[in-house]
Every structure is written in structure tokens, then in C-alpha cells.
Amino acid sequence: MRKRIAILPGDGIGPEVCEAATRVLTEIGRIYHHDFEIKKGLLGGAAIDAIGQPLPEETISLCKQSDAVLLGAVGGPKWDTLPGEQRPEKGLLGLRKALDLFANLRPVTIFDSLAEASPLKDDIIEGVDLLIVRELTGGLYFGEPRERRNEGGQEIAIDTLVYSRAEIERIVRRGFELAEQRRGVLTSVDKANVLESSRLWREVVDEVAKDYPNVEYSHMLVDNAAMQLVRNPKQFDVMVTENMFGDILSDEASMITGSLGMLPSASLSESGPGLFEPIHGSAPDIAGKGIANPLATLSSVAMMLAYTLQMPDEAEALQKAINNVLENGYRTADLTENRESALSTVEMTDKVLEAL
């Protein structure tokens, strides 16, 4: 198959982990006889340095012409003094908008060989395999009005949580579809005892559920969900929720694993290209040292193969290769106390290529 893939390395360790991804994609193309046409684009601080703004028009059109987009990371201390509108992070927000990425998927899986890194007990985390589906374009992040004003001599600040039925329906439907492809269990997370938007959310979930009789679904209040995630994370398969609840719960859930350098994410639109990226940031403290863990980015490539490129066998092969490398004891510096035995980014990537 012929597929166009845009790679936006970005800042910090972004270029290093994206180089690993390029090597792995090229190898998968060779093994499975696919023609991956990989083109690189500028985003974030790298784009600011090159052309003075974080999201070049050229990058937007490159992404729109591609089947999928892989992103390294954006941001770093070098650009922290710029005004908010010109920051590298604005580039990523703008790109998400331009591609209409409304569904953010964050899988949380425990690699048995890394279980010791988790802050939770072995019996609680053993076999955890869940997927958080977060709405990405609505809610408190974008609702109007959002402003400061004076009311009766008091300064007040306003944020607005708005969701339309259509916005809720498309994310909830995506949640049910994903649950159907997995273990068939969906937990919808809301705050329906307090919020009107959550009451509409529940109504929509109950309606959409009729189209997915094979999915066993339930509603859970967000405060309880936060507690259940550390008390018994194994109960979850797919969790679907609105923007801010999803932001908080996905960070909480990622810590269950104890290995930030391992976790991928995907942001999907209705029919355009998906955007895939590791959940870790640009890690400026280790940038340029060649020691970054490439596995979160390689897992993001596996998600790209599975979710957007319709290559489930290739996705599985890559995920297996990653597991295999870990089971064989190979570790980058972030995953081991034993600095002497730690592999560099390139060496770790070599191991994954060998396993493939």
C-alpha cells in the first residue's frame, strides 16, 4: 500500500525519537511491501526559529495531504519568554484545530517487565489495559464567554462549559466503536449530579448505546472514576469523557504505569489524517544527548498503523517487538537504575528493528 506520512519532529528530544520512528517505519515498509512516503514539516519552536511562527501554513497543508501525522514534541525553555500567542504550544493547538481532531486516545497498558516502576502494588496493576477517550474540541477549553469583569466592585472570572448534542454524540460513538473492537466494556465519565452538560452527556450515551448492544456500558461520576483508577484500574476497558475530565484522568492513568517514556497517544478526526504522538514532552533536560527513550514514539507509530493506516498486522508486529525488547531486559536510562547498561536512543531502536 502507498501511504503518505508527515513527521513533525518539533523540539527537544522530538527529532531524536522521530528519527527512531522513521527508521522503524522504513523497515516495516520493507518487510510488508508498503510504500511509505515520509515528509518532514516544521512545528513549534523549530518553526519559530526557522520562520518566526509556530505553525507554518506549509505544515498545515502537508498534514492535510497526508494519511497520518507523527509528532515528536514541542516547546522548551528557549521559547518560554515569548508572549502566549507566539509560544510553540500554540502551534500544536492550532494544528489540532486545523485537522479537527476531536477524539484523543490514550491507552494505558502495563508492561509486565516494567511493573516495578509503578507506584501501585503488583496485584493492583497486573494486566491493566485501558483506553481513555477524551473529547478534545469542546467544553471549558473553548466555551464562551471566558473573561474577567467587574461585578458590583468585585473582580470575577468566567469560564463556560458548553457541549452540543452533536459534539457529544460523535465522541461517544467513537468510544463505543473502540469498546466494540476491544473487550466490549465502556465507562462514560461525567458529573451528572452537578452539571447540566453532564446530564445531556448521559442522555446521549443512553441513546447511542442502543446501536451497540454488544457493549456493556455504565456511567460513573468523575470523582469516583479518579478514585477507582488507583483503587482498581483493571475494571476499565474504554473510558469516554469530556475535555477537562479527560485531561486530568489521562494524566492520572498514565502514572499508574510509572513509565512516562512508554506511553503513546492518538488524536483522531471524523475522516481526515490522525495525529500520533508520545504523551511525554520535549524533555529539554536530556535533549541532544542521544539517551531519550524512543518507545513511546514507536508505540505511537503502532497506533498509527492500527487506527489510521488500516494495518493491524503491522501494528501488532511492532507492539510485539517493543514488548519483546523489554522482556529481554533492554532499557534506556529512564527505565533503569543501572546507568552502565542503559542503551542509547539509537541502540534501543536497533533492538526493536532486530525484534521486528
The residues carrying an active-site annotation are 141, 191, 223, 247, 251
Q: Does 296 bind ligand ATP (CB under 6 A)?
A: yes
Q: Does 347 bind ligand ATP (CB under 6 A)?
A: no
Q: Which does 260 bind (CB under 5 to 8 A by kind): Mg ion, ligand ATP, none?
A: ligand ATP
Contact stretch for ligand ATP (CB under 6 A) within 235-243, 283-291, 303-311, 317-325: 283-291
Per DSSP, the residues of 286-306 read: TTTTT----HHHHHHHHHHHH
CB neighbour list of residue 262: distance below 8 Å, 6 or more residues apart: 111, 114, 293, 295, 296, 299, 335
Q: Given the DSSP bridges, would you call strands 216-221 and 238-241 parallel, antiparallel or unpaired?
A: unpaired
53 is annotated as contributing to ligand binding: no
CB neighbour list of residue 215: distance below 8 Å, 6 or more residues apart: 176, 179, 180, 184, 185, 186, 209
What is the number of the residue whose Cβ is closest to ligand ATP? 281
Q: Which of residues 246-275 bind ligand ATP (CB under 6 A)?
A: 260-261
Contact stretch for Mg ion (CB under 5 A) within 37-45, 245-253, 274-282, 333-341: 274-282
287 is annotated as contributing to ligand binding: yes
Q: Which does 293 bind (CB under 5 to 8 A by kind): ligand ATP, Mg ion, none?
A: ligand ATP
* Main-chain dihedrals φ then ψ at residue 16, nearest 5 degrees: -70, -45
How many whole angstroms separate alpha carbon 351 and alpha carbon 339? 18
Q: Which amino acid is at 79?
A: W
Binding pattern to ligand ATP, positions 73-92, x when CB under 6 A?
--x-----------------
Q: Does 117 bind ligand ATP (CB under 6 A)?
A: no
Contact stretch for ligand ATP (CB under 6 A) within 142-150, 166-174, 214-222, 280-288: 280-288
How many whole angstroms separate alpha carbon 292 and alpha carbon 298? 12
Q: Which does 280 bind (CB under 5 to 8 A by kind): Mg ion, ligand ATP, none?
A: ligand ATP
Q: Which amino acid is at 331?
A: R
Q: Does 242 bind ligand ATP (CB under 6 A)?
A: no
Grid coordinates given for 106 = 490514550
How many whole angstroms separate alpha carbon 140 and alpha carbon 228? 24
In 3-state terms, what secondary structure has residue 277? strand
285 is annotated as contributing to ligand binding: yes
Q: Per the annotation, where are the binding residues for NAD(+)?
A: 76-89, 281-293
Report the interface residues with ligand ATP, using CB under 6 A: 13, 75, 260-261, 280-283, 285-286, 292-293, 296, 334
Contact positions vs Mg ion (CB under 5 A): 281
